[in-house]
Amino acid sequence: MPPLILPSKKLLVLDPCHGGKQPGAVAGNYKESAICRAILSPLVDSILRDRKEFDVQTSFGLLNKPINSTWLPNARRADLSNYTLNVQPIDFLLSIHLNAGDPSAKGMMVCYRTEANLQSADYFYSAAIAYAESAGFDLAGNRDEKLQARPSDLAILKVAPNSLLVEAAFLTNAGDRQLLLLRPDLYADAIKAGIYAVMNSL
């Protein structure tokens, strides 16, 4: 009789942007890094409450880094890549960011690296927007390019074959910013819907 091998659980890693001395985008007193952490916390709690068949970790938790420490993009990529090679593969990595730009620019965008990731980006975006719509909110905004190819300039997307980066909203848009500050839980739930759409496709 062959030995019984239990399949190991899939691993979802949530990477909050920037941090420490790197605030990311800044608008007035508001920092991308702080707002992304405010989304991350209810997001992780909510996924744990759903008792899914996969494990969920933050990138910082996985590597035992204080959540507000500075962890530069190339070091973060190297540390996480080492983890996937030597400890356990990451099945899906999502890096959570906020956009900045013209004050009129608003809405969610999803960045991907390869053609294979484009499918995941589409699943993620569609599910997140649909969830928000069902809750009475339009997170789609007004960008033409909702799914954006970033083949080489985003180190974090090279960590795992399935990696995406979500720019949840524009910190520089008054409407987006107000909703981010008032309802981080809404963004967490919309992002969760996107994550589940991707995890279900793996």
Interface with Zn ion by CB under 5 A: which residues? 17, 24, 97
Nearest residue to Zn ion, scored by beta-carbon proximity = 97
Q: How far apart are CA 108 and CA 147, in angstroms?
A: 9
User: Counting every residue, how long is the chain?
Assistant: 202
Q: Which of 8/148 has CB closer to Zn ion?
A: 148
Q: How far apart are CA 39 and CA 106, in angstroms?
A: 18
Contact (CB, 8 A) for 2 and 151:
no
Compute the least distance from the CB of residue 85 to Zn ion, in Å.
25
Q: Which two tokens stand for residue 13?
A: 């890693």
Compute the least distance from the CB of residue 157 to Zn ion, in Å.
12
Q: SS3 breakdown of the chain: % helix, strand, coil, rounded to 5? A: 45, 20, 40
Compute the least distance from the CB of residue 87 to Zn ion, in Å.
26
Instruction: Please tell me what DSSP assigns to residue 20.
Output: T
Q: Which of 180/196 has CB closer to Zn ion?
A: 180
Largest Cα–Cα distance in the chain? 66
Q: Which of 35/44 has CB closer to Zn ion?
A: 35
Q: Which of 16/194 has CB closer to Zn ion?
A: 16
Compute the least distance from the CB of residue 45 to Zn ion, in Å.
23
